[in-house]
Structure 1
Amino acid sequence: MTRRNGSVENASALGDAFSARAGVFSDKALLDVGYVPGSERIVARNEEIRRLATALNPAVEGEAPSNAFLYGKTGTGKSLCARYATRRIVEASAETGVDVGRVVVDCSQDDTETRAVRATVRGLNDPAVTGIAVPETGLGRSRYYDLLWEVLDARFDVAFVVLDEVDCLDGTDFLMQLSRAAEAKKLDRCSVGVVGVSNKVRYRDRLEERVKSSLQEREIVFTPYDREALSEILRSRLAAFDDGALEADVVVECASLAAEEHGDARKAINLLRHSGELAASEGADRIAVDHVRRAKSVAERDRMRELIDGGTIQQKATLLAITSLALVEKTRTFKTSEVYAAYEDICAESGLETLSKRRVHDLLREWEFLDVLEITRTGGGRARGSYLQHHLLEDPSVIRSAFDGSERFAGVGFTAGSTTTTWSNI
């Protein structure tokens, strides 16, 4: 009987976890990462939008627009402004009788030339209008290009191809094809405008001179948001909460923490959402500054977990190596030889194949590209030559928490000096 009562009590307690709560949210979707706000919620980017609109505006009269590339760190509004400006041009052109099309290609997903051109033509095509069928599979790259030119000339006077996260695209041939389509007589009627969006300000340096010459793009740099801009952005999302659900200083605290560290609007919004979820889970009817401070570590962990989940097992091993070193040595800067030694130990304990030092260096460069590491070359003093230093930009304890639950690296340890460290209990 006692056991049954215990089960009933446990079920009752669990029932609270599954039952609906009044909580603090009224429209939580406003805080989702994938939510695209309307123009009334685009703040602090008027100058960038004006410059982009100026580059694209010739399309309204049916003329060829300028190509434009938007650069800046994650969460600075690049993609949002690119989508907004191209949509407004499409709407404005309809009033002048000009047919303007737009497609947004996510190059982090469609990361090869074939995938990118296929996504572009499928996004622009309307079989009911063109009579053209574009299959998902079964065609070669050149055939997809042929279909793209057919669709463009059949439907549009001007078309915008927005390449989001263009730095993820393998190679630059797609950029060449788009920018030289008219010159190469691929198109008879339609003009193409390319809008590239990249988190890497140095992306243009990777382009071949012939691509730069062909694009002749206008560059627009998005600087990180300051505290005032982040406060304005967060206030534009307050409809996500019930009236009176936030204490007075919550928005300012979220904006201040985000501005001091990264100036990333997505992270600031995510922090506000986590604060609300923490308050709701505790049964509070108001979000306090304390909720924000405690939620910050959760938001950082989730962001890092997304980066880690997107990496290969070998990428994870290299990041684990420098993170483990940082936790033991209480510093964040190490030579390549030190990182490689830790990496070898991790591979040995996890049963992972050990790659060459050159390949590990390449993997570390990939973490640098994601702004997790900073790699610099420095002199070692007289007769010692120069060497690379790898500086961990992220908090190693946050990275460690993001690895929690990893089956492959559970219990993995290494020897640092005279200290043996086990990953599971760092």
Structure 2
Amino acid sequence: MVQDETNRDPLFRYDDPVFEDEELLEISHVPGPDRIVGRDEHMSKVANALNPAIFGSEPSHVFIFGKTGTGKSLISRSVSERVVAEADRDDVIVEYVFVDCGEQDTETAIVKTIGQAVNDPDRTGVSIPDRGLGTADYYKRLWTAVDACTDVVIVILDEIDMLQDDEVLRKLSRAGENRSLSSSKVGIIGISNKIDFPDELSERVKSSLSRDELVFPPYDATQLSEILEKRQDAFREGVLTDDVIPLTAALAAQEHGDARKAIDILRNAGRIAKKENAEQVTEDHVRAGKEKAEADRFSELIQGAPTQAKAILYALTTLTDKNDRQEFTTKVIYSVYESVADELDMAVLSERRVQELLKEQDFLNVIQSERKGRGRGKGQIGKHRLLEDSAIVRKVLLRDSRLKELA
């Protein structure tokens, strides 16, 4: 039912002077093939691996590596969607399931997620509850659902290196061989920022998981410009000034060719312009959008981190601001951390525990840590540096209610 315009609530805004279709700038949006840039060769290789699924046969497993924002998830989802559509033309049922292993990192959680995505209770006669079953029972219901509801299921495991237990890879990849499935097939696409991830797999998985491997390089400034141009119809005509897309692409190219960040910056620039009631999106909005994108990204990285870890990061930030060099030893960081903890009236952790928390932040790509030699016969020493601009790190850390006292 369409509401009478004269009765609209004046508290809200019903026109959008900046965006025509903001969904085109959402990270979760999977654009059509005509909007995908610079990945023809990689798309073709993923398609070759999945091609057998169109005929109901088992696809090849694929591991895809590359830095954040290089199109790994986008290409995996886009090609999988096209496989689903092509298979349907021949009455072959293919489903694909996208699993974020950063959130679903246990064997049980992954099996449950896949099962819930493909299950049709009317066809299988079983339900797959959120809780209450053991891992073995979740597997049984998964196999029932896959056999009854699909001919092929493609499982995309994003951030696969975050898995707590890789046993799920062995069971999924050998489901047919082990007769867990009677007729349906499973294909796996594993996505990771870490090219050496396969070296960390257990020997059982290494011996059973035959796979292709692809590396996605960063986008260059020209490709980033083209990606943004393909999405500029997210904005109303004439809203973007001529220098907005080139500047956005150049800023993102400096950040390892991250297309995701480029799109983040452009969307933020539009939102900032709308908030200011500006008639056009300008260079100033782009620079403000970049700062917001960086703050949002860093905030996401440290979300849920304990206050003690944030205090250690604050100590590293303070050191970075006060010194010309960017790397600092654990001992130097610990000395400043003691002062920060004292100012916050917090218990002071041991230097060993601080070292452990620094390692955790390195693993999460919040900081970069490495062991460096101190000279012949003197052993090695750990050094740490921020991966984000210190002003951004400080701004995000001070959002914590406990650390606000340091402002």
For residues 321-360 of structure 1, the aligned pairs below 5 Å read 321-360=315-354
- 1:256 — aligned with what? 250
For residues 109-124 of structure 1, the aligned pairs below 5 Å read 109-124=103-118
Q: 1:186 to 1:355 in 2, by over 3 A?
A: farther
Q: Distance in 1 between matches of 2:10 and 2:38?
A: 42
Q: Distance in 1 between matches of 2:98 and 2:373?
A: 45
- 2:356 — aligned with what? 362
- 1:74 — aligned with what? 68
Q: Name the aligned partner's letter for residue 374 of structure 1.
A: Q
- 1:6 — aligned with what? none
1:408 to partner: Cα distance: 1.3
**Which of 266, 270, 273 pairs up with 1:279?**
273
- 1:12 — aligned with what? none
**Which of 45, 49, 60 pairs up with 1:55?**
49
**Which of 205, 211, 219 pairs up with 1:217?**
211
- 2:190 — aligned with what? 196
Q: Name the aligned partner's letter for residue 76 of structure 1.
A: T
SS in 2 for 1:410: helix
Q: Distance in 1 between matches of 2:94 and 2:195?
A: 29
1:219 to partner: Cα distance: 1.1
Q: Distance in 2 between matches of 1:311 and 1:166?
A: 21
Q: Name the aligned partner's letter for residue 48 of structure 1.
A: H
Q: Distance in 2 between matches of 1:212 and 1:353?
A: 44
1:176 equivalent in alignment to 2:170: yes
1:18 to partner: Cα distance: 6.3
State the Cα deviation string for residues 68-113 of structure 1 (Å, max 9, x = none). Answer: 1111111111111111111211222222333322222222221211
Q: Name the aligned partner's letter for residue 192 of structure 1.
A: V
Q: 1:151 to 1:298 in 2, by over 3 A?
A: closer
**Which of 240, 263, 276 pairs up with 1:269?**
263
Give ranges in structure 1 of 5+ residues lacking alignment.
1-14, 412-422
1:296 equivalent in alignment to 2:290: yes
- 2:400 — aligned with what? 406
SS in 2 for 1:43: coil
1:32 to partner: Cα distance: 2.4
Q: Distance in 2 between matches of 1:31 and 1:398?
A: 23
Q: 1:378 to 1:306 in 2, by over 3 A?
A: same
SS in 2 for 1:332: coil
Sequence identity (%): 45
1:124 to partner: Cα distance: 1.2
Q: Name the aligned partner's letter for residue 60 of structure 1.
A: I
State the Cα deviation string for residues 247-279 of structure 1 (Å, max 9, x = none). Answer: 112101100111022211111111112222232
Q: Distance in 1 between matches of 2:357 and 2:204?
A: 29
Q: TM-score, normalised by structure 2?
A: 0.91
Q: 1:120 to 1:164 in 2, by over 3 A?
A: same
Q: Distance in 1 between matches of 2:273 and 2:350?
A: 48
SS in 2 for 1:136: coil
Q: Name the aligned partner's letter for residue 272 of structure 2.
A: L
**Which of 177, 185, 189 pairs up with 2:179?**
185
Q: 1:347 to 1:159 in 2, by over 3 A?
A: same
State the Cα deviation string for residues 267-323 of structure 1 (Å, max 9, x = none). Answer: 111111222223233332112223223332222222212222243333323322211
Q: Distance in 1 between matches of 2:348 and 2:83?
A: 52
- Determine if contact 2:30/2:77 at 8 Å carries over to the other structure: no
Q: Distance in 2 between matches of 1:90 and 1:114?
A: 26
State the Cα deviation string for residues 357-384 of structure 1 (Å, max 9, x = none). Answer: 3433332223223333222222212453
1:144 to partner: Cα distance: 0.2
Give ranges in structure 2 of 5+ residues lacking alignment.
1-8
- 1:414 — aligned with what? none
Q: Distance in 2 between matches of 1:322 and 1:302?
A: 20
